[in-house]
Amino acid sequence: MPPNFSWGRSHLQENHFSLHPRRLNREFQMFREMQCVTIDGRRVVRKVVEETPVAVFVNGRHLTTVILSPGGFQDFITGYLYTEEIVRSADEIESIRIEDNRISVLTKNPFRRGSVKKTILSGCGGSVSYIDTERLPAIDSDFTVSITDLQATLAALRPSSPLDVVALMDDGRVITCAEDLDRHNALDRVIGHGLRDGLDLSQITVLSTGTVTTEMVRKCLTAGIPVLVSTDLPTALAVDVARGGGLCLVGSVGTPEMAVFTHAERISGVKR
């Protein structure tokens, strides 16, 4: 059985954010039962994933609108503002107010803006994100994690979940775990939780489901996290950025195809 990670009070009831570390202790409604008709004419009820559009305001200005799974918004916005380099620590957040479909944040430095510049290009077949790798921080670390510890904590990723799952691991145990429609949001949630709890992220491993993208690599580099592990494969560009930034990237964990793509010296038990 995977660990029982809970989310906390309903975001409609949470009006203020305390900077004192605390554990969330109640679960949100992540799914809703919906009636539908199968192709052979049967009326059935299926559980479907909830999604919530949330407008983010920072110091009175609309920053972005994100689509999130319900709940855990304090962790998400703390991690998001940190990985976007709008704040350098949780202590730079003066207050967070949660309302219907809106998060309002006041920071101690209202003039600071994120320093990472990204260009989004739209074209046939979708959009492409380019990250200025020269402005990303680089990780120089002697941190290591064992293959045994990685495999022992896989249950936390709940591979049967329809949501993306991301967890933080320290010394062979899962510290926190988050589910979201988007694994990038889930990554922000666990990073935010770590910041609020005062964790040393330079001694943490991130476990994730799904394909590892350059955006996930960027967030880990910004947070100083030395190892990113996923049940799936990374993109080619994610490997390039991780190699240049000093991030250890592991794919297909828990399968016979498990492989270390960058900085294999951080995974003890790898034959070299």
Task: Give residue limits of the domains in the chain.
Answer: 136-268
The per-residue pLDDT for 121 is 35
Q: Does domain 136-268 have CATH number 3.40.140.10?
A: yes
The per-residue pLDDT for 2 is 36
Percent of the chain with pLDDT over 90: 67
The kind and range of the H/E element at 149 are helix 147-152
Q: What are phi and psi of 143, to 5 degrees?
A: -65, 140
Percent of the chain with pLDDT over 70: 82
pLDDT (average), residues 208-213: 94
Better-scored residue on pLDDT, 46 or 17: 46
The per-residue pLDDT for 136 is 86
Quote the crossing angle between the two packed helices 214-223 and 73-83, to the nearest 10°: 90
Residue 151 — pLDDT band, cuts 50, 70, 90?
Answer: confident
Measured CA to CA, the distance from residue 72 to residue 226 in angstroms comes to 25
Residue 103 — pLDDT band, cuts 50, 70, 90?
Answer: very high
Measured CA to CA, the distance from residue 57 to residue 140 in angstroms comes to 34
- List the single range of 35-39, 66-70, 158-162, 207-211 with lowest mean pLDDT: 158-162
Measured CA to CA, the distance from residue 8 to residue 27 in angstroms comes to 6
pLDDT for 187 beyond 60:
yes
pLDDT for 26 beyond 60:
no
Note whether 229 and 266 are within 8 A (CB). Answer: no
Dump pLDDT digits (tens) for 43-65: 999 999 999 999 999 999 999 99
pLDDT for 22 beyond 70:
no
The per-residue pLDDT for 210 is 93
The per-residue pLDDT for 166 is 95
pLDDT for 126 beyond 70:
no
The per-residue pLDDT for 100 is 83
